Amino acid sequence: MPTHPVLISSDQIQKRIRQLSREIRSHYKNKDLVILGLLNGSLFFLVDLLRHLPDRLEIECWRLRSYPAGHRQSSGKVEGLKEGHGNFKNKHVLIVDDILDTGLTLSSVKQRLTELGACDVKICVLLKKKKKRQRPITAKWSCFEIGDEFVFGYGLDYDGYYRQVPEIRTLKV
Ligand code: 5GP
Ligand code: MG
C-alpha cells in the first residue's frame, strides 16, 4: 500500500463522524427516521455512523452500481434501483453513501424514494468530489471534500478489492 498516499487517516474519519452524528441527531430529534445505506461503498461509513445514532430508527440498504466491475469511471447508468424496496411512506429518509461524484446515483435514489412516498429525503456522504455535478444535487452532510482523484479504502474499492483498508488513499498508477 505505501505507493498509494494516505489522503484521510482513520482517526480523522472517526473524529469527523462523531461531529457529524451530533448534527444529525439534533436535526432528526422526535422524527421517524429511516437510514438508507447504499452498498457496497458505504459499508464501513454506515456502520460507524450508526454507532453514534439513536436506537430508535429503521435501517434499509440498497445495493447499487454505477461503476461496472474493474472500471474507474461511472458508466452513466445506475443499476439495482428497481429492486429497491422498504417502507418509506411518509418517512424522513437519510441516504448514506460513500461519494458524491457526478450526482447521478444520488439523484436517481432520491427520485425513487419520492416515488415510494418519502416525505423528506436528505443525503449524508463520506466524501464529496469538488467537480461540477451532472445532476443538481447537494448533500446536507458530508465528512470531507476532495479533488477529482480516484480514491479507495474505508469501503471504497480499487478494482473490486481493498475496501477494508482502514484509511482513504489516493490511487497512484
Ligand atoms: P456518481 O453517481 O455520483 O457519479 O457516483 C457515485 C459512485 O461512484 C460512488 O458511490 C462510488 O461507488 C463511485 N465512485 C466515484 N468516485 C469514486 C472514487 O474515487 N473511488 C471509488 N472507489 N469509487 C468512486
Ligand atoms: Mg456507491
Mean pLDDT to the nearest integer, 113-126: 96
- Cβ(75)–Cβ(68) under 8 Å? yes
Rounded to the nearest angstrom, the distance between the alpha carbon of 73 and the centre of ligand 1 is 8
Neighbour-count burial of 158, counting CB atoms closer than 10 A to its CB (0-12 exposed, 13-18 middle, 19+ buried): middle
Ligand 1 atom closest to Cα of 38?
10
Minimal CA–CA distance to 129: which of 110, 144, 113? 144
Mean pLDDT to the nearest integer, 98-111: 93
Ligand 1 atom closest to Cα of 156?
22
* CA 76 – CA 85 distance, rounded (Å): 22
Residue 70's pLDDT is: 61
Residue 171's pLDDT is: 96
Per-residue pLDDT reduced to its tens digit, 62-94: 998 776 666 666 666 787 776 677 899 999 999
Minimal CA–CA distance to 65: which of 74, 54, 56, 53? 74
Q: What percent of the chain has pLDDT over 90?
A: 79
Rounded to the nearest angstrom, the distance between the alpha carbon of 63 and the centre of ligand 2 is 9
Indicate if the pLDDT at residue 157 is higher than 70.
Answer: yes
CA 173 from centroid of its chain's CA atoms: 25
Rounded to the nearest angstrom, the distance between the alpha carbon of 89 and the centre of ligand 1 is 28
* 141/78: higher pLDDT: 141
Q: State the pLDDT confidence band at 51, using cuts at 50, 70 and 90.
A: very high
Indicate if the pLDDT at residue 26 is higher than 90.
Answer: yes
Average pLDDT, the chain: 92
Q: Looking at 48, 97, 98, 101, which residue is catalytic?
A: 101
Residue 168's pLDDT is: 98
- Report the chain's C-alpha Rg in angstroms: 16
Mean pLDDT to the nearest integer, 135-163: 95
Residue 71's pLDDT is: 65
Task: Among 101, 109, 131, 138, name the best residue to mutate to test ligand 1's pocket (greatest count of ligand atoms within 8 A of Cβ).
Answer: 101
* 31/65: higher pLDDT: 31
Mean pLDDT to the nearest integer, 109-120: 94
- Residues by chain with Cβ below 5 Å of ion ligand 2: 41, 98
